[in-house]
Amino acid sequence: MKKAAVADATLRVCDHAGCTLGFKEKIEIVKHLDRLCVDVIETAPLLNGKSDVLFLHTIAPLTSKCVISCAVPLDEELVDLSCQAVAKAAKPRLNIIAPVSTVQMEYHCHRKPEAVLEKLAAVIGKVRAAGIETEVTFADATRAENDFLIKALNCAVECGVEIITVCDSAGTMLPGEMGDFIAGLKKALPALDDLTLSVECSDELHLAPACAVSAIRAGAGQIKTAIGIPGRLQLGSLVDLLNAKGSTLGISTSLNRTACSSLISSVEMIVAGKAVSNSAEKSASFVSASGDWKLASSDDMAAISEAVRKLGYELSAGDLGNVYNEFQRIAQKKEVSAKDLDAIVATVAMQVPPTYALKSFVINSGNIITSMAHVILLKNGEEVQGFSMGDGPIDAAFFAIENIIGRHFELDDFQITAVTEGREAVGSGIVRLRSNGKLYSGKGISTDVIGAGIRAYVDALNKICYEENN
């Protein structure tokens, strides 16, 4: 019979999941978790200063059986404060959270892979020097490059950590795949046998309990759970599974199984109505009453990626990160619509050296003549020009540009909006061109709406040229 430790992460993930708990509610949850006999109670990073420290000082005397684990980001400045905060606990632990997938490292942590490892080693060293039990949680581990993940695991092992957690943050693994993943890590790095390997399974596919069991059978010694937080492995589901199949599976825990049902229900009642899963946020915020998309600051990278895909774009990880960062900046002030997101993509995605630049344009237009356009562009410092007629000044200008480059692109969308008010208002143009089935967006700004449209077309054209030439 293999005994697995249970670490409850309800208090660590509740704020991120949209569940804001008061001080007294958190204390009540700690009391219930202590009576449940979970092995570890995890808390969030100390981002609120004194109030978070006070909370940890308050719960320290409430439990002598559970480990009190405080999460720490890759920030050496928070280590000293976190060490002081958990020092009064009977069993203190610091849980260092480190991203290991490309997207999370570059666009959440804003560091390159080697810089992440250097920072990780420095933070671990500082925690170890304080004499506190150390855990490292590798976020999004199942989507990390395997070679880099092994390097990160080896870094943690060599630095002397006692517990290592790997996370299936995206929730894409099936139970068999999770077992193979854990077995593969232990085979690639035999030193993992000398410490506790832990797993944190997402419940996006509603298979978290089965994935956790598969991980334990493959060699994991600790599993992360939560209560009442959607998208996480629910403690109640794990208890139900082990009650039914624990003996057959050869797995046991230290949980107080006789009181589990009532205590878990008590915690669920505290959390109820406040927890909002990421997937629920996505579906609720994606569509407004009018049917238009609405995105909020609570939407994560996956939601933005899906929204961008629905707009028709195929962005690289780098461009998606730029879009997400700009989205978060704007979303702090207002909800972001589909048109707003389109403008963000046009502004920050695939910024390239210009192949063409607008020098000048002349438009002849009226209600009794056919619109004509004369556009002069600069290419490698040389002037190239085109003339054309069209159904309106914008149409004529775009045809003139196509005469210059000798190609025709499908115009997927064209938008003009006023950026400022009044007769001298600045106009912003968005142009979406389709080339070889792929969308490219450009943005232009001018006090002349035709100028804004031409600049937007040239911006999109430059992106097409750059990708074709590289």
Decide if 300 contacts 278 (C-beta within 8 A): yes
Q: How far apart are CA 209 and CA 205, in angstroms?
A: 11
CA dihedral 185, 187, 191, 197 (to 10 degrees): 40
- A 10 A CB-CB count for 65 gives 12
**Averaged pLDDT for residues 139-160:** 95
Displacement of CA 7 from its chain's centroid (Å) = 23
Report the pLDDT value the prediction gives residue 415, as an integer from 0 to 100: 86
What lies within 8 Å, CB to CB, of 237 at 6+ separation is 208, 209
**Confidence bin at 470 (pLDDT 50/70/90):** confident
Task: List the structure tokens of 417.
Answer: 């909006």
Full-prediction pTM beyond 0.85? no
Mean pLDDT throughout 375-403?
A: 93
Within 10 angstroms of residue 382's Cβ, the number of other Cβ atoms is 7
211 confidence band (pLDDT: 50, 70, 90): very high
Residue type, 398: F
**Band of pLDDT at residue 137, cut at 50, 70 and 90:** very high
Report the share of the chain in percent with pLDDT over 70: 92
Q: What is the pLDDT of residue 292?
A: 52
Q: For each of the domains in the chain, give its residue range(s) and CATH number, in order of start.
A: 2-271 (3.20.20.70), 284-348 (no CATH), 356-469 (3.30.160.270)
pLDDT per residue as tens digits for the range 51-80: 888 899 999 999 989 999 999 999 888 899
